[in-house]
């Protein structure tokens, strides 16, 4: 048996000193690899032929779908169980209940795929109608990162709604990593939702977004302030992100903040606008042009 590396004792001392940042000898967290694979399988079930499962033979594709369903059912069930067990740290005596609950949640998610597809079909149509560069719905599904991020969010949101810990956030972080679009799984978003380009978009946990809303890259729907309790700690769980009613459009790099901020239906928020108050329906909000300083040639030049 070989000896340990000479630095091992120093590391073990460090791990003992701050056990929060060590996750050994505990219930394992959900597997990152398994969750990534579940997300890819869900995309194949939602949009067969567009994602990982690209080459579908006429005679075998029903079998492929069936195989994926079986695989997700088993893998997702196991990961949900790991998430619950980890959350409750110890689950002795209630083991079977956990398994039953995990199986039920998985079954409901998969049985809900046709309903998810109805909503996602509206998202695809909204993307096609909203972007002059889109040539057809196939290009939207096949090439648009916004559609992929929204699809993954809608799956994660279903798990979030029924209280599954860790997994929803892991899923939306996979989408964030791939697309630069960061949607908290707790947000509520109506059908016909389109995010164009998308890099830098942040949608907070308690956002309420209506039907046929369109966002561009860099839009933040964030918190204005965090209520704190008497001892100065942040109070968690309150509505702190804005509400966007139906048919709202928010252009690139605009920032809309606050749980009491309501953007009325059919309102348009221009690029780079910083908004912390409610806006009436059908209103357009733009940056003032005179806020720019223009220097013509001849004056001393300066870079910013």
What residues between 31 and 90 interact with a copy of itself by CB under 8 A?
Answer: 31-32, 45-50, 54-56, 58, 61-63, 65-67, 69-70, 73
- Which of 42, 175, 189, 223 binds a copy of itself (CB under 8 A)? It is 223
Near a copy of itself by CB under 8 A: residue from 36, 75, 137, 278: 137
In this structure, what DSSP letter does residue 234 have? Answer: B
Give first-to-last CA distance, the chain, whole Å: 62
Of the residues 93, 96, 231, 296, which one makes contact with a copy of itself according to CB under 8 A: 296
Give the count of beta carbons closer than 10 Å to the beta carbon of residue 185: 23
Answer for which of 101, 179, 212, 243 binds a copy of itself (CB under 8 A) is: 179
Site for a copy of itself in 15-34 (CB under 8 A): 15, 17-18, 20-26, 28-29, 31-32
Q: Which of residues 104-123 bind a copy of itself (CB under 8 A)?
A: 110-111, 113-114, 117-118, 120-121
Distance CA 201, CA 181 (A): 5
* CA-to-CA dists, residue 51 to 55, 71, 133, 252, 280, angstroms: 10, 17, 21, 28, 40
What whole-number distance in Å separates Cα of residue 115 and Cα of residue 93?
Answer: 36
d(CA 189, CA 218): 18
Residue 13 interacts with a copy of itself (CB under 8 A): yes or no:
yes
Instruction: Supply the Cα-derived Rg of the chain in whole angstroms.
Output: 23
Residue of the chain from 79, 101, 212, 220 that contacts a copy of itself (CB under 8 A): 220
CB of 101 to a copy of itself, least distance (A): 19
- Rounded least distance, CB 245 to a copy of itself, Å: 14
Q: Judged by CB under 8 A, which stretch of 96-104, 155-163, 197-205 contacts a copy of itself?
A: 197-205
- Candidate residues 38, 127, 249, 263; the one interacting with a copy of itself per rule CB under 8 A: 249
Do the bridges between strand 194-195 and strand 202-203 make them parallel or antiparallel, or are there none, so unpaired?
unpaired
- Angle between helix 32-46 and 167-179 (nearest 10): 70
Of the candidates 176, 174, 194, 172, the one whose C-alpha atom is nearest the C-alpha of residue 185 is 172
* Using rule CB under 8 A, residue 190 touches a copy of itself: no
Q: CB 225 → a copy of itself: shortest distance, Å?
A: 4
- Asked if 10 touches a copy of itself (CB under 8 A), the answer is yes
* 91-99, 156-164, 245-253 -> range binding a copy of itself (CB under 8 A): 245-253
| Angle between helix 61-87 and 167-179 (nearest 10) | 120
> Smallest distance from the beta carbon of 122 to a copy of itself, in angstroms?
10
CA neighbor of 243 nearest in space, from 272, 215, 265: 265
For residue 211, state whether it binds a copy of itself (rule: CB under 8 A). Answer: no
Is residue 199 part of the contact set for a copy of itself (CB under 8 A)? yes
Q: What angle do CA 269, 274, 275 make, to 5 degrees?
A: 70
CB of 195 to a copy of itself, least distance (A): 12
Binding mask 261-290 for a copy of itself (x = CB under 8 A): -------x-xxxxxxxx-xxxxxxxxxxxx
Residue 185 near residue 170, CB atoms below 8 Å: no
Please pick, from the candidates 204, 210, 213, 245, the single residue that binds a copy of itself as defined by CB under 8 A: 204
């Amino acid at each position: 048996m070989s000896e340990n590396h000479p630095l091992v004792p120093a590391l073990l001392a460090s791990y003992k000193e701050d056990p929060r940042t060590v996750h050994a000898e505990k219930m394992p967290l959900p597997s990152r690899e398994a969750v990534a694979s579940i997300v890819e399988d869900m995309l194949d079930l939602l949009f067969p032929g567009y994602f990982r499962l690209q080459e579908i033979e006429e005679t075998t594709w029903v079998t492929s779908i069936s195989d994926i369903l079986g695989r997700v059912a088993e893998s997702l069930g196991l990961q949900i169980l790991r998430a619950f067990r980890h959350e409750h740290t110890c689950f002795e005596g209630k083991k079977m209940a956990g398994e039953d609950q995990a199986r039920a949640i998985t079954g409901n998610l998969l049985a809900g795929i046709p309903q998810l597809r109805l909503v996602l079909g509206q998202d695809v149509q909204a993307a096609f109608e909203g972007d002059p560069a889109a040539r057809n719905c196939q290009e939207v599904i096949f090439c648009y990162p916004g559609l992929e991020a929204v699809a993954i969010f809608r799956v994660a949101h279903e798990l979030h709604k029924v209280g599954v810990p860790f997994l929803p956030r892991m899923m939306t972080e996979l989408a964030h990593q791939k697309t630069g679009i960061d949607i908290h799984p707790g947000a509520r978003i109506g059908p016909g939702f389109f995010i164009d380009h998308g890099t830098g978009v942040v949608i907070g946990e308690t956002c309420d977004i209506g039907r046929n809303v369109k966002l561009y890259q860099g839009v933040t729907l964030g918190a204005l302030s965090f209520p704190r309790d008497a001892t100065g700690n942040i109070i968690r769980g309150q509505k702190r992100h804005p509400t966007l009613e139906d048919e709202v459009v928010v252009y690139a790099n605009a920032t809309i903040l606050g749980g009491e901020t309501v953007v009325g239906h059919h309102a348009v928020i221009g690029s780079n606008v910083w908004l912390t108050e409610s806006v009436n329906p059908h209103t357009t909000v733009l940056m003032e042009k005179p806020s720019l300083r223009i220097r013509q040639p001849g004056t001393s030049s300066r870079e910013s």
